Amino acid sequence: MRRRSNRVAVESSSVVAATRWLKLTVAYDGAAYAGWQWQPTEPTVQGVLQDAWRTITQEEPRLTASGRTDAGVHAEGQVVGVETASTIEPRRLLRGLNALLPDDVVIRAVDPAPAGFHATHDSLRKTYRYQLHTGPTPPLFDRRHVWHWRAGPLDAERMGQGGACFVGRHDFVSLESVGSERSSTVRTITDLTVTTRPVDGGERIDITVTGDGFLYNMVRTIAGTLVEVGRGSKPPEWVAEVLAARNRAKAGQTAPPQGLFLVRVEYS
C-alpha cells in the first residue's frame, strides 16, 4: 500500500452547524486489504478512507458503503455515503483525499447527495463481475484479479445457458454462505451474461450479474456453480435444481475472492 508521491496541501475546513451529505465513488484493488469494513488490527479500505477524511476535515467520519466487500475483493464503483459539516468543495475533497490515500485506493468522484443519503439502504441495483482465466499458464499481471482455472477448458456457452436460470425473482438460499443473517433470501436478478475472449495463452471468462441485492458470497457461489456446468460435470438445467433445493450443499463451490469486482451501484 505505497503512498502516492504527488502530495497536495491539506486543507482544514471551518465547521458549521449545518451538515450536508456527499456520495463518494471509490475504486480499489482489494488484494492488500481485509475487506471494506474497519477492523482494529487489519488494514481495510474503510480504515484508510477514514484516516484520509479525518486528516483533511478534522472530523470523525461515519461512512456507509453500498456493500461490505470481503478480503481480496475489488471494486470499480463502490459507493460511500458521508454526512459532513465540512465546507470544502467536492473537487478539492477529491484532490485532497486522493493525495493522502494509498495508491491502491482511488476516489473517482465526490458528488452532492440528498439529505439522509444512505449508500446501503438507498441502492436499487448492483452489478458484479467475476473473472476467470483458463489455461495451463498462470496470468502473471492479472494473478490478483482472476481465478486461474487449471483443470481444463470451460464451455462459456453452457455457462451462459445455466446462468439464465438465475435470472428472475428467486429464493437464493442455496447460494448463501453462513455468516450473515438476512430477513429474506429472496432476490431479483435482472441480467446475467457470460463472455469470453482469448488472453495469455488461455481464455478470460467474465460472469457479469446485476440484481437488486445479493446474499453473503452469492456471486462467488454463482461463479462456482457455473464452473461445474462449464467443465461438463453438470448440465445447464441443473442450476434450476440447485435453486429449487434451497440447500447450500447442492450448489457449487464458493469461488476465490480475487476474481470478484463490484462494478457499479445504481440509485434513483
Residues contributing to the annotated binding site for substrate: 128
Q: Give the catalytic positions in this structure.
A: 70
Residues in the chain: 268
Cell 481480496 sits on residue: 72
For the annotated binding site, the residues are: 128
For residue 196, list its beta bridge partners.
205
First to last CA, the chain: 34
Sign of the alpha-carbon dihedral angle for 158, 161, 166, 172: negative
99 vs 178: CA distance, rounded Å: 38
Q: Could you list the beta-strand ranges (E) of the chain.
A: 20-28, 63-65, 74-84, 105-113, 125-134, 147-149, 168-171, 186-199, 202-211, 260-266
204 vs 146: CA distance, rounded Å: 9
C-alpha cell at 7: 502530495
By the 10 Å C-beta count (0-12 exposed, 13-18 middle, 19+ buried), 62 is classed as exposed
Give Cα 163 distance to the centre of its chain: 19
DSSP character at residue 260: E
